[in-house]
Amino acid sequence: MQSNDARILRGAAIPSACAGLVGVLVGTLVSGGQGALGAGLGTVLVIAFFGAGLLALSRIGQAWPEFLLGAGFLVYTTQVGVMLVLLMLLRDATWLDGRVFGLTVLACLLAWLAAQAWMHTRVKTPYVEPAGDRKAADAGPRA
């Protein structure tokens, strides 16, 4: 993972975790242990799903930069679809508060997307590779 991608991941995960912490506190006040469990699970799911997606896009961007836009659409729609399925499956679970879970997932998701977009505007990502850098990288170490 490049340092740019690591900064974007960190810059998106921290606000999302903060939103999740607020969700856990509010969930505890509203629904007790079930609310805290729902909010905690929602926070972990959002950070895991979107962190894995950002990691996958980073690797795809390094290996096949021409497929990055299509891969981005595929990763994002897959993430949202899987989150929708999880929300539908866990909506009526008795061991957690489904409403707190859903609202925390939504809050963490919005915090992640906003922070990731903001970090993309702040990180200086090089988008042009000089010809000399590519040849040196392709040559590899000399024996």
What pLDDT, on the 0 to 100 scale, is given for residue 87? 78
Residue pair 12/115 in contact (Cβ under 8 Å)? The answer is yes
**Token representation of residue 7:** 């900064």
User: Which one-letter amino acid corresponds to residue 21?
Assistant: L
Distances (CA, A) of 139 to 82, 100, 130, 142: 41, 54, 15, 8
What pLDDT, on the 0 to 100 scale, is given for residue 135? 54
CA dihedral sign of residues 61, 66, 67, 69: positive
Q: What is the pLDDT along the chain (143 residues), one digit of tens a residue?
A: 677 788 888 999 999 999 999 999 999 999 999 999 999 999 999 999 999 998 998 888 888 888 889 998 999 899 888 888 887 888 778 888 888 988 999 999 999 999 999 998 887 766 666 666 555 555 556 55
